[in-house]
């Protein structure tokens, strides 16, 4: 029995399906492409920033906790006053110097909390866009799916037949938009979950640094 040889004209091509799709489907593909590019750009930037930020913050806390006196603490803060996580070391150094010189007339706790809130907001920048990309991409793909199915029914009505030639283009568009929506949503959802975990770890480090700083400032006041 001779093997069946498929005609090259019916060979499936993702690019050809997109080119031959309707204007509405092309609009869906374009929107999903823009969403994917924006979400990937934000995720790459956040990966570079948060990974370094968390590493610097963790090393700062570890070094800070091993200091035995105020002078070493000041040296530690000065050492980590550069980089992505420099705001807290600089603030702690200023608070310690102000406390030593008796220039700190207000409670340091709200000052530290405001700084931590600022850092938390900086870490969370772009997370809303990533979450939105993960949530709306499948829905936009579904919109294209509905359009493709509707287009297939229109073709059936115009041709008066339900053969494969009448429904195949619309079904292909429907499947392609569904795949495109998932391809945009899955990386965004994965990135959102990953960065949420890292941000939570950074916030925990913030709390521990805050507690240690308040302890240092109390001890500095008692020494005076």
Task: Output the pLDDT for position 48.
Answer: 94
Per-residue tokens: 104: 């700190």
Nearest to 195 by CA among 127, 145, 140, 143: 127
Q: What is the pLDDT of residue 5?
A: 45
Q: Among all chains, which residue has been given the structure tokens 């199915």?
A: 149
DSSP 163-216: -HHHHHHHHHHHHHHHHHHHHHHHHHHHHHHHHHHHHHHHHHHHHHHHHHHHHH
DSSP single-letter state for residue 5: -
CA distances (Å), origin 179, targets 22, 132, 208: 17, 18, 44
149 in Cβ contact with 170 (< 8 Å): yes
In this predicted structure, what is the pLDDT of residue 137?
A: 95
pLDDT attached to residue 32: 94
d(CA 148, CA 180): 14
**Whole-model pTM above 0.85?**
no
Query: Which residues in the chain come in under a pLDDT of 50?
Result: 1-11
Give the per-residue pLDDT at 21: 74
Domains of the chain, residue spans: 21-56+67-223
What's phi and psi for 57, nearest 5 deg?
Answer: -65, -40
For 28, counting Cβ atoms within 10 Å of its Cβ (0-12 exposed, 13-18 middle, 19+ buried), the class is buried
Cβ neighbours around 46 below 10 Å, total? 23
> How many Å apart are CA 155 and CA 166, to the nearest integer?
6
Determine the Cα–Cα distance for residues 200 and 127; give it in Å rounded to an integer. Answer: 13
CA distance 35 to 130: 9
Phi then psi for residue 49, to 5 deg, are: -70, -55
**Distance between CA atoms of residues 21 and 23, nearest Å:** 7
pLDDT digits (tens, 9 = 90+) for 47-80: 999 999 999 999 998 888 776 677 788 888 888 8
């Amino acid at each position: 029995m001779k093997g069946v040889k498929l005609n090259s004209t019916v060979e499936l091509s993702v690019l050809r399906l997109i080119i031959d799709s309707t204007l509405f489907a092309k609009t869906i593909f374009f929107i999903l492409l823009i969403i994917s590019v924006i979400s990937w750009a934000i995720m790459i930037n956040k990966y570079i920033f948060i990974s370094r930020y968390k590493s610097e913050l963790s090393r700062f806390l570890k070094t800070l906790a091993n200091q035995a006196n105020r002078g070493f603490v000041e040296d530690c803060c000065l050492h980590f006053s550069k980089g992505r996580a420099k705001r807290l070391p600089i603030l702690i150094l200023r608070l310690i110097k102000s406390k030593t010189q008796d220039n700190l007339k207000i409670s340091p706790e709200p000052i530290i909390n405001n700084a931590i809130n600022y850092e938390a907001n900086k870490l969370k920048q772009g997370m809303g866009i990533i979450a939105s990309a993960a949530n709306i991409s499948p829905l936009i793909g579904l919109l294209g799916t509905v359009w493709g199915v509707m287009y297939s029914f229109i073709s059936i009505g115009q041709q008066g037949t339900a053969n494969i030639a009448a429904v195949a283009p619309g079904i292909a568009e429907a499947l392609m938009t569904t795949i495109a929506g998932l391809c945009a949503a899955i990386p965004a959802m994965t990135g959102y979950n990953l960065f949420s975990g890292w941000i939570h770890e950074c916030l925990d480090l913030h709390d521990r640094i805050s507690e240690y700083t308040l302890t240092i400032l109390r001890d500095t006041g008692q020494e005076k």
